[in-house]
């Protein structure tokens, strides 16, 4: 029997990634087909919620979205409604606009709000829950750094993209006897570099959790050369950092530039090894394109679970996957936290057993 008709809201926040449209599809189809709910989509994340930019989502709106990249709702990166920059008599000021969100949700008679996003989006959702908003989070992030879930939406597809790039770089590296560096996303956590590095046969993997010594990296490369391997593949997480106090610890290390940390590392290695290097920065290529089959299944599971949680009144939690089972987790256990790669975990041990260097 269908429950009493009610309305739920939905938005996508933070950086885009493969799978956002397919999770919107799962939410809308479950909400309408199973529970007879209305679904109100707010555009461009919390910005649309503050400015009351919305549309009622129907089954026809989500038809054909399963394999489409991006998000039909749009998104904004790093927008904080608690610190929104507004123009006050020609002067830019920060204002707390969360009361606008409360007002707009009440105006639309929305019982619960489903927020699809990364740490910042879910943290904002948690802060709204403390103000009385019924919130359900769905974790998406190609970095896979959200606690409370084994995998986030977009991560598996990003690893596939990075692995394919490593596969293609191998032949060029071997042909020209070069050092090939592939820089992937992962500012705070190195999951993409670690998993794609293992899958793509990288010789060296650099992640934020394990500070690297450039001299040890050079030694690894020269050891390979002495054994007849005149090339090396290095998978670099954008958040990789050198060990403190090393000769090359910071000096001219670029931070938040379009060139990335890998260009800095490549220049250092050319001096130390006298081998030619080339750098490929995947950047936003990791965010685009169609989601992998695994991500399509994950998004569908999480989208359906989020609506079921709303129907049960199980709010202020995030829908997660633990040991391949659905596992809602309190938002308080997710907000402002980061799931880092365990430096003594199984994947790091496996990589070391395969001869991979982490520069330490």
Active-site residue set: 143
Contact 10, 114 (CB under 8 A): yes
Looking only at Cα atoms, what is the longest distance across the chain?
Answer: 73
For the chain, give me the number of helices (H) and strands (E)?
10, 15
3-state secondary structure of 231: coil
Do 150 and 17 meet the contact criterion of CB atoms below 8 Å apart? no
Q: At what angle do helices 346-353 and 191-199 cross, to 10 degrees?
A: 40
Per 3-state DSSP, what percentage of the chain is helix, strand, and coil (rounded to 5)? Answer: 40, 20, 40
d(Cα 153, Cα 75) in Å, to the nearest integer? 15
CA distances from 342 to 190, 207, 333 (A): 10, 11, 18
């Amino acid at each position: 029997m269908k429950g009493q008709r009610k309305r739920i809201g939905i938005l996508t926040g933070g950086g885009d990634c493969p799978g956002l449209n397919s999770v919107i599809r799962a939410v809308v189809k479950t909400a309408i087909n199973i529970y007879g709910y209305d679904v109100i989509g707010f555009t461009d994340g919390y910005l649309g919620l503050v400015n009351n930019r919305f549309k009622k989502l129907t089954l026809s709106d989500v038809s054909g979205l399963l394999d489409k990249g991006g998000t039909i709702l749009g998104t904004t990166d790093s927008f904080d409604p608690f610190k929104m920059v507004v123009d006050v008599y020609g002067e830019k000021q920060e204002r707390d606009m969360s009361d606008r969100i409360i007002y707009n949700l009440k105006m639309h008679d929305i019982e619960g709000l489903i927020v699809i996003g990364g740490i910042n989006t879910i943290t904002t959702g948690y802060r709204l829950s403390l103000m009385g908003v019924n919130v359900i989070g769905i974790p998406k992030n190609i970095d896979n750094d959200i606690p409370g879930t084994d995998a986030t939406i977009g991560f598996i597809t990003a690893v596939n993209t990075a692995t394919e790039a490593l596969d293609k770089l191998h032949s060029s590296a071997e042909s020209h006897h070069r050092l090939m560096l592939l820089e992937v996303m992962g500012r705070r956590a190195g999951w993409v570099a670690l998993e794609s590095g293992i899958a793509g046969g990288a010789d060296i993997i650099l992640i934020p959790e394990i500070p690297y010594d450039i001299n040890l990296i050079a030694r690894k490369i020269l050891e390979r050369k002495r054994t007849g391997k005149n090339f090396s593949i290095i998978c670099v997480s954008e958040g990789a950092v050198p060990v403190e106090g090393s000769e090359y610890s910071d000096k001219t290390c670029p931070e938040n530039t379009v060139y990335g940390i890998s260009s800095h590392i490549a220049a250092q290695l050319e001096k130390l090894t006298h081998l030619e290097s080339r750098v490929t920065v995947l950047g936003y290529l990791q965010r685009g394109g169609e989601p992998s089959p695994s991500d399509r299944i994950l998004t569908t599971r999480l989208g359906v679970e989020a609506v079921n949680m709303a129907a049960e009144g199980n709010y202020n939690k995030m829908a997660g996957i633990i040991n391949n089972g659905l596992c809602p987790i309190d938002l308080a256990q997710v907000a402002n936290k980061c799931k880092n790669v365990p430096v003594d975990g199984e994947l790091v041990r496996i990589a070391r057993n395969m001869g991979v260097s982490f520069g330490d």
